[in-house]
Amino acid sequence: MSIEIAESPGGSAAAVGLTNQATALAADAERSGVAEGTSDHQGFAANTIVISNLNNDGDIMLLGSDGGNSLEFLLANMDVADLIIGHGMATMILKTASGNMTLSPGGSLVVSTNMFVANNRSLSMGSDSDAKLHLNTAGLAADEELAAVIEGTSNHQGTAANSLIISNVTDNGDIIMLVSDGGNSLEFLLADADIAKLTLGWGMATTDIVASAGIKMVGRMLNAQGADVASADEITLGIDGNYIDITGTTTINHIANTSWLAGAIVMLQFDASVTVTHNAASPTGTEASILLAGAVDFSATAGDTLVLVYDGTTFRELSRTAI
């Protein structure tokens, strides 16, 4: 049984119909008065209500009346194959009584305005919803779990009310953050869950840690040892550590100031007898002079150390040990 709608009474054959289809139709199959040409549909079961417009590029629009004003809530725009939902509405609610709601576009899901996720609900990613972005209004005590967000025997400091939680509950799943520099992705944060290690600034030229009231370090500071550097008139210290072995016996007059910032400290350990010159004359280019205690040269022997701070122009001695 169908209700057919013509252009006008006595007009041409109806191309729009509201039909109760008693028999099922397979996906993309055609049926007279219902689906024509090379159709694209999912198919339907028996006793399905079908609304169909067979006019070329003919749309289907649904409207409601708000105090005498017609408001569109659905438009199937056929000349561009767009489905628009909620155009005339103040708000639109998509809701299921139970279970998940799946959005599966053939391309990207494009949001052209703000998208809101309710308090204490997660924006989940991954087929198992293992990655979470969650606003928790209640706050959490230290090491407290939160269903599907913080799991197992957790280890965290606790959060205040209305805290944003970013969580990956995949076993040994990491969190990495990157930015693009001229088309090249650079890592600036990696939380490596497998070895419980946080790395900051890996892909950056420098990493600044700034706090207006100071920085408190809890636990031992594990500074790295840099690669050995051979003694020379001007030595270039690597950026791979602040404790560096100096090999060789050539007198050291200058240190290259490349990649050094005022306030940076370095400790040199000498593997052989070598002289470090105090305030050597005529530094050029990247050369920075070395200012030593007592304004005299340091005749280092194997095992001696020299601690220097860069002041923006020269390297100044802070301390030394003579073995």
Q: Could you report the per-residue pLDDT of 156-173, keeping only the tens digit for each?
A: 999 999 999 999 999 999
Residue 7 pLDDT > 80: no
Give the residue-averaged pLDDT of 213-219.
Answer: 89
Of 214, 240, 273, the last residue of a domain is 214
In a domain, 68, yes or no: no
Residue 105 pLDDT > 90: no
Structurally, the chain folds into a number of domains equal to 3
Co-location of 245 and 274 in the same domain: yes
CATH number for position 292:
2.60.120
Co-location of 176 and 209 in the same domain: yes
Residue of 126, 143, 146 whose CA lies nearest to 135: 146
The structure tokens listed for 191 are 């939380």
Residue 19 pLDDT > 80: yes
pTM of the model: 0.70
Residue 124 pLDDT > 70: yes
In a domain, 220, yes or no: no
In a domain, 107, yes or no: no
Co-location of 191 and 208 in the same domain: yes
CB 272 within 8 A of CB 247: yes
Residue of 287, 323, 288 whose CA lies nearest to 308: 288
Residue 10 pLDDT > 60: no
**Phi, psi values for residue 191, rounded to 5°:** -100, 105
Q: How far apart are CA 176 and CA 187, in angstroms?
A: 7
User: CA separation (Å) from 110 to 82, 115, 180?
Assistant: 13, 11, 22
Co-location of 198 and 277 in the same domain: no
In a domain, 260, yes or no: yes
Indicate the DSSP class of residue 233. S
Residue 11 pLDDT > 60: no
**Averaged pLDDT score across all residues of the chain:** 92
**Phi, psi values for residue 154, rounded to 5°:** -80, 165
Co-location of 236 and 304 in the same domain: yes
* Domain span at 192: 172-214
Note the pLDDT of residue 5.
72
The pLDDT tens digits for 236-261 are 999 899 999 999 999 999 999 998 99
Residue-level length of the chain: 323
Q: 72-105 burial by CB neighbour count: b if 16+ within 10 A, else e? A: eeebbeeeeeeeeeeeeeeeeeeeeeeeeeeeee
Note the pLDDT of residue 13.
55
Residue that wins the pLDDT comparison between 127 and 140: 140
Note the pLDDT of residue 15.
80
